[in-house]
Amino acid sequence: MTSRSWLAPMRARDTTENHRVATPLELFFDLCFVVAVAQAATPLHHAIAEGHIWHGVEGYLQVFFAVWWAWMNFTWFASAYDTDDDVYRITTLVQIGGALVLAAGVADAFDANNYTAITIGYVIMRLAMVAQWIRAARGDRERRTTAIYYAVGIVVVQILWLLRLALPEDLLTPAFAALVVCELLVPVLAERSPGGSTAPHPHHIAERYGLFTIIMLGESVSAATIAIRTGLDTGEHEAGLVSVAAAGLVIVFGLWWLYFDRSAHSLIRTLHNSELWGYGHYFIFAAAAAVGAGIAVEVEYESHHAEISGTVAAYAVAVPVAVYLLVVWLLHIRPHQRGPFIAAYPFVAVLTLLAPLGPAPVFVIAALMVLLVTATVVVGRRVPDAIAQ
């Protein structure tokens, strides 16, 4: 049981704790972050439909990194130190507020390349984590050095993010890439500090990532539904839009099925594996949310409102689906599988990328999802689990 006093000692939780599940606060935290994800996916959809593909993709990946990284740091910290007391809840509220500030600045970032509001929102979220790590340093003597590494590293990088706002526009993207590397290095260095590694709960982390994957896929369904509703309001192309909606639903459901086919907690046992698994989910989350933007682009093409070709519109769906399949295969499926079936996921990913070159690409992609799910159920589960052996 966690303490709910005003300021309980923040000690590391037991990694073998039974029945460790996501808390109501964590679920609320995730739902608030979806606002920022939706704000990033909508401009991506419009940018691709208007032919500004690179601008849309670049802006989306940058905004999504800010959302994902703040979410990921909170998730792993909460798995190790969640006290669920009043100060912890208020600090989490500050992080949520930062996410909303970030979401409010997405339009300026896409339209005017102005990252001021996004940066401020991001820094608010990250400095709230500094407060959490300082509490951990006070309460967990064994890992005090690790917590201090985290706190100092986060503060230094946030100062650099603020200084980035003063750079000329042509240096913003290179500076962003450099600061992403700095952010990723903070946990890598902190977890290898003399204080030792923190202790996240494998089952809890796997559940938290699974829930966020569901939310990202749900965001895809929501984005596609809004786009289809808008198209149907015109009273034209109804049959085509309904069929795109059906194909999109099959695709998203297939992506959900494939992610949850194998349990992930056994993959989060060592520090190295945890880092690869945790960092790699950036691509799963970003691709899952981008599928909805791609379906929305396909809707605009079907209703003759897009300024791009049918092939480009189809690739707006095919690329995130292929990325999702490849990364899920690398992180979730490949460690469990052996034998010829191990090649099924990359093979279907390649076919997905070829689908836009032929007729009815979205329906072909949906059919490929059905085939891969069927093969996973009929063949994949008959292969002995390599981890369990």
What are the pLDDT tens digits along the chain (389 aa)?
444 555 666 777 766 777 778 889 999 999 888 888 888 888 898 899 898 999 899 989 999 999 899 999 999 998 888 788 888 899 999 999 998 999 888 888 888 888 899 999 999 999 999 999 999 998 888 889 999 999 999 999 999 999 999 999 889 999 999 999 999 999 999 998 888 888 778 888 889 999 999 999 988 887 777 767 766 666 666 777 788 888 888 999 999 999 988 777 777 777 778 888 889 999 999 999 999 899 989 888 888 777 899 899 999 999 999 999 999 999 888 876 666 777 889 999 999 999 999 999 999 999 999 999 998 888 766 655 555 44
355 in any annotated domain: yes
Percentage helix, strand, coil for the chain under 3-state DSSP, each rounded to 5:
80, 0, 20
Q: In this structure, are residues 157 and 183 in contact, taking their beta carbons and an 8 Å threshold? A: yes
Q: Quick check: is 324 in a domain?
A: yes
Task: Using alpha carbons only, give the angle 367, 371, 376 rounded to the nearest 5 degrees.
Answer: 150
- What confidence score (pLDDT) does residue 213 get? 93
Is 389 part of a structural domain of the chain?
no
Residue 7 lies in a domain: no
Is 14 domain-assigned? no
90, part of any domain? yes
Q: Could you tell me if 211 and 242 lie in one domain?
A: yes
From the number of C-beta atoms within 10 Å of its C-beta (0-12, 13-18, 19+), residue 253 rates as: middle
Residues 176 and 211 in one domain: no
Same domain, 209 and 292: yes
Task: Give the per-residue SS3 of 307-321.
Answer: CCCHHHHHHHHHHHH
Residues 175 and 250 in one domain: no
Domain boundary among 147, 166, 191: 191
**In a shared domain, residues 305 and 161:** no
Helix axes 361-378, 238-259, angle to 10 degrees: 30
Is 11 among the domain residues? Answer: no
Residues 173, 238: one domain? no
> Residue 377: which CATH number?
1.20.1410
> What residues contact 233, with CB distance under 8 A and at least 6 apart?
none
The Cβ of residue 376 has, within 10 Å, a number of other Cβ atoms equal to 20
Task: Clarify whether residues 186 and 39 are in a common domain.
Answer: yes
Q: Could you tell me if 175 and 224 lie in one domain?
A: no
Residue finishing a domain among 156, 191, 226: 191
Does a structural domain hold residue 13?
Answer: no
Neighbouring CB atoms inside 10 A of 180's CB total 17
- Tell me the two tokens of residue 186: 């903070």
Going by C-alpha positions, the residue among 148, 135, 18, 144 that lies closest to residue 82 is 135
Residues 156 and 245 in one domain: no
Total domain count, the chain: 2
Residue where a domain stops, chosen among 136, 165, 191: 191
Q: What is the pLDDT of residue 197?
A: 83
Is the domain of 125 the same as that of 99?
A: yes
Distances in Å between the Cα of 299 and the Cα atoms of 102, 242, 276, 311, 314 are 28, 9, 35, 13, 10
User: Looking at the structure, do residues 208 and 64 belong to the same domain, yes or no?
Assistant: no
Domain that holds residue 210: 202-382
Same domain for 114 and 252: no
